[in-house]
Amino acid sequence: MKKQTQLPNTLTTPSFIQKLQWIADPVKYMENAAQQYPDIFTARVVGFGDTIVFVNHPQGIQEIFANDRKKFATVGEINKIMQPFLGDYSLLMLDGDHHKSQRQLLMPPFHGERIRAYGELINNLTKKVFSKLQKDLPFSARNVMQEISLLVILQAIFGLYEGERCQKLQHLLSLFLDAFRSPIISSIFFFSFLQKDLGAWSPWGNFLRQREQINELLYAEIAERREHPEKDRIDILSLLMSARDETGKPITDQQLRDELITLILAGYETTASAMAWGLYWIHHLPETREKLLQELDSLGDSPDSMSIFRLPYLTAVCNETLRICPVVMFSFPKIVQENVKILGYQLESGTAVVSSIYLTHHRKDLYPQPKQFKPERFLERQFSPYEFLPFGGGVRRCLGEALALFEMKLVLATILSRYQLALVDNQPERLQRRGFTLAPARGVKMMITGQRTDRESLMTMATTSAL
Ligand code: HEM
């Protein structure tokens, strides 16, 4: 990559220290940098090539998103880091026209209208997973949300409901994606010299073997579907298998495999962390929970999923959760192709830029008292797509946004309407790196303290005895 002589607000901390800070505690790293340069700064962090310009001001973000097909290449180093997971045909590895046409092929099954068909499934899976939890026994909300979100993906995306293949995939995928569980383990993806197959016990060797087993299962499922196609299936894999590109060609097996893994990687951890954060904030602030329960109860017994989805306070709670704890820290980096001006700074071709979701969501001028959880902000005013951007923006805006929001609202509503939950301790949670995402460091420890029907009957008893 060509080096630009004058980059905006270059951080002066030695490069290797910046890299270590970025891997170990990206939030602290970004906040320290933004204290010095709130709108735009140049960092030297691992995973982005030599230097990268962080843009944290809505106007600068608009300048990037509005021009991203014309003036930027959209596959940066970070996408390449994910190649061992995703393969060469993944949407994340494609740029320009290839990306555009593959995205058009993938988009229809993720449209809001289609997603509605999964309401009952999400509801039932949440009930099933929660029915296994015992009263007064602590559990990690993040792990439980992960189980729900993986089952939603296996059923809604793969159409796998039960059987040996489904169970094996569920087990292998959760192990595979656990490779991101700590900053240390994640670093094998950032440093290629650590990517050595030293047998099944070495981190990289283990990763390669798990990937092989997952591939076998996925290819077996694809082959079986091709042999016995069923017209009525509504899962995303079936819809993709019947899709044709503009030249009339169907998607190949390898493309299908790569896209399936991409959808899991992009959709599983992200949605699970967002839902765990939702549970955390709702139970950390009793008045938020009370308001939410009042709103949910106003829908009466067995409300339909669209009425839940449209609830204004629930929507505000989910938005505020994604604002204060954005699961994805930044939108995918972009490389300047022809000289471009951002926030008045001239950036030359070859410069890497990134729109910082985390720092924009924590700007005091947009969100007064940014560290406080206040869903009301989203009821009081509308934020532009450059001010509130948990799903990124421009040509790579999240494909799974409708599914993620639908799932988040339905899962939270189902849990809250049925159970009384409590956080196990009062210690505040904090954001920790989990691969390319931010997750609650302690996993949000909670327990079930009662069924909501119990509470209602207790309340009835209390009122009766008082009479
Ligand atoms: C709360 C959950 C989620 C969050 C916060 C999230 C966030 C994001 C962000 C920030 C991007 C990058 C956008 C950009 O560069 O501007 C992205 C891309 C993407 N997401 Fe999500 N995502 C979530 C859930 C999902 C789900 C459930 C799926 C699918 C099952 C999904 C599929 C994708 C795909 C395929 C891309 C790449 C799009 C492209 O390259 O054209 N995401 N997501």
CATH number at residue 355: 1.10.630.10
Q: What lines the ligand 1 site, CB under 6 Å?
A: 91-92, 103, 262-263, 266-267, 270-271, 274, 327-328, 331-332, 390-394, 396-400, 403-404
Q: Which stretches of 327-434 are assigned E, i.e. beta strand?
A: 334-336, 340-342, 345-347, 352-355, 419-423, 431-434
Whether 165 is in a domain gets the answer: yes
Total of domains in the chain: 1
Decide if 42 contacts 11 (C-beta within 8 A).
Answer: yes
Decide if 259 contacts 236 (C-beta within 8 A).
Answer: no
Atom 39, ligand 1: residue with shortest CA distance: 396
* Residue 47, number of CB atoms within 10 A of its CB: 20
Atom of ligand 1 nearest to the CA of 407: 27
The predicted pLDDT at position 228 comes to 86
Decide if 373 contacts 320 (C-beta within 8 A).
Answer: yes
Using the CB atoms, write b or e for 386-418: b if 16+ within 10 Å. bbbbbbbbbbbebbbebbbbbbbbbbbbbbbbb
Between the CA of 331 and the centroid of ligand 1 the distance, in Å, is 9
End-to-end CA distance of the chain: 79
Q: Which domain does 363 fall in, by range?
A: 15-466
Whether 278 is in a domain gets the answer: yes
Torsion of CA 190, 192, 197, 198, to 10 degrees: -90
Amino acid at 414: T
Block mean pLDDT (10 aa), the chain, length 467: 72 90 92 97 81 96 90 75 86 90 87 87 95 96 95 88 86 79 62 72 82 93 88 83 83 92 90 98 97 95 92 98 97 91 94 96 98 98 97 95 97 96 93 88 96 53 32
Atom of ligand 1 nearest to the CA of 92: 40
Atom of ligand 1 nearest to the CA of 408: 1
> What length does the chain have?
467
The predicted pLDDT at position 200 comes to 77
Whether 5 is in a domain gets the answer: no
Instruction: For residues 138 and 283, give the distance between their C-alpha atoms in angstroms, rounded to a whole number.
Output: 14
Decide if 273 contacts 440 (C-beta within 8 A).
Answer: yes
Of 152, 332, 398, best ligand 1 pocket probe by most atoms within 8 Å of the beta carbon: 398
Instruction: For residues 88 and 82, give the distance between their C-alpha atoms in angstroms, rounded to a whole number.
Output: 10
Instruction: For residues 254 and 408, give the distance between their C-alpha atoms in angstroms, rounded to a whole number.
Output: 31
Atom 43, ligand 1: residue with shortest CA distance: 398
Decide if 352 contacts 53 (C-beta within 8 A).
Answer: yes
Decide if 433 contacts 183 (C-beta within 8 A).
Answer: yes
Instruction: For residues 229 and 242, give the distance between their C-alpha atoms in angstroms, rounded to a whole number.
Output: 9
Whether 358 is in a domain gets the answer: yes
CA atoms within 13 A on the CB side of 452: 15
**Burial of residue 192 (number of CB atoms within 10 Å: 0-12, 13-18, 19+):** exposed
Between the CA of 400 and the centroid of ligand 1 the distance, in Å, is 6
Whether 138 is in a domain gets the answer: yes
The predicted pLDDT at position 1 comes to 47
Between the CA of 459 and the centroid of ligand 1 the distance, in Å, is 43
Whether 208 is in a domain gets the answer: yes
Whether 431 is in a domain gets the answer: yes
Between the CA of 305 and the centroid of ligand 1 the distance, in Å, is 22
Whether 354 is in a domain gets the answer: yes
